[in-house]
Amino acid sequence: MDKSNYKNIFVFVEQRDGVIQPVGLELLGKAHELAQILGEKVVAMFLGHNIKNQCQTLIEYGADEVVYADCPELKDYLTEQYSQAIAQISDKYLPNIILFGATTIGRDLGPRLSARLATGLTADCTKLEISEEKELMMTRPAFGGNLMATIMCTEHRPQMSTVRPGVMQKMARDTSRKGEIMEFKPVFDPSKFAVKLVKKVKADKGKMDITEAKILVSGGRGVGCKEGFEKLGALAKTLNAQVSSSRAMVDAGVMPHDVQVGQTGKTVRPNLYMAIGISGAIQHLAGMEESDLIIAINRDKDAPIFGVADLGVVGDFNKIVPLLNERLQKEMQEK
């Protein structure tokens, strides 16, 4: 294979119900940084139906070009339809790198495409860099998060990776950015469409995704039970925050998996992360240590969480959380 034929960083930008997903914009931001080192372009791949009018937004968030495919077959994500379209885009444009969000869609699509394009895929990356030889260095936790493995795909192209939502940062929107928008018309083989979308059922309409929250009040085994989490819920209400959890409380059946922070949960980067009764295991830290401000409440002064906290309170959360909540409510009323 002549690697020099393969150029540019392609980013698969997900849409759901026509809404661009934040992880796509985060990846455009990272791709912009990497493309400058490589001297290549960032190309957004955008698939859906009636989505053309959103292509300019992708340019404003860092894409130099957009390749979009707009047809009824691509309205909702379906593995085969999307795999056929992206494999054809890849065959035409020969990307050097393709990045996907490590979402349910990206985790389904990435492996399918890596098999179809006969190349490698590094899943769930937390860091992407370019080596001196201009290869993509893809870093991800390995062996239960006890070490970080950096993986390269030197023999095949495109180099492909999935990256978790919330890990990379999107660029500030620049409405003056200009770029080329190109339509791609996939030629489908419907005989391979084995799956039909019958209906879509949304999980929980009222609840916000914790990766989108500006403030998270997170509880661990030290919080212990539903009554403990009610105290955290009251504080979260005052702060207009969401409640999240360590894996210990998910495994115990106290909290649902979709609010788990960490290596096997979600990666979050809120403005404020409150870690309450959480020891700070490496698998938990992997999901929250990039938060802007971390406040830990723990009765063990030697808990590892204090190693990453900006502010630490040593004591029993049962006493501290209600007092803090009361004080905040009072201050807010006085304002």
Ligand X SMILES: Cc1cc2nc3c(=O)[nH]c(=O)nc-3n(C[C@H](O)[C@H](O)[C@H](O)COP(=O)(O)OP(=O)(O)OC[C@H]3O[C@@H](n4cnc5c(N)ncnc54)[C@H](O)[C@@H]3O)c2cc1C
Kindly list the residues in this chain that would bind ligand X in the complex (CB under 6 A). Answer: 144, 220-222, 246-248, 260-265, 277-279, 281, 283-284, 287, 297-300, 303, 316-318
Between 251 and 326, CB nearer to ligand X: 251
- For residue 63, the minimal CB distance to ligand X (Å) is 32
Between 136 and 223, CB nearer to ligand X: 223
- For residue 327, the minimal CB distance to ligand X (Å) is 18
**Residue 17 to residues 47, 60, 74, Cα–Cα distance (Å):** 12, 21, 11
Residue 150: CB partners within 8 Å, gap ≥ 6?
Answer: 127, 137, 138, 139
- For residue 162, the minimal CB distance to ligand X (Å) is 17
Between 179 and 262, CB nearer to ligand X: 262
Token reading at 127 = 């860091």
**CA 263 to CA 283: how far, in whole Å?**
5
- Under a CB-based contact definition with an 8 Å cutoff, are residues 157 and 118 in contact? no
Between 85 and 278, CB nearer to ligand X: 278
- For residue 293, the minimal CB distance to ligand X (Å) is 19
Report helix, strand or coil for 181: strand
Nearest C-alpha neighbor of 263 from the set 128, 166, 134: 166
Nearest C-alpha neighbor of 30 from the set 145, 155, 152, 127: 127
Between 158 and 287, CB nearer to ligand X: 287
Between 18 and 315, CB nearer to ligand X: 315
- For residue 8, the minimal CB distance to ligand X (Å) is 34
Q: Reply yes or no: is the peptide bond before residue 158 cis, omega within 30 of 0.
A: yes
- For residue 219, the minimal CB distance to ligand X (Å) is 8
Longest dimension (CA), the chain: 69
- Under a CB-based contact definition with an 8 Å cutoff, are residues 114 and 135 in contact? no
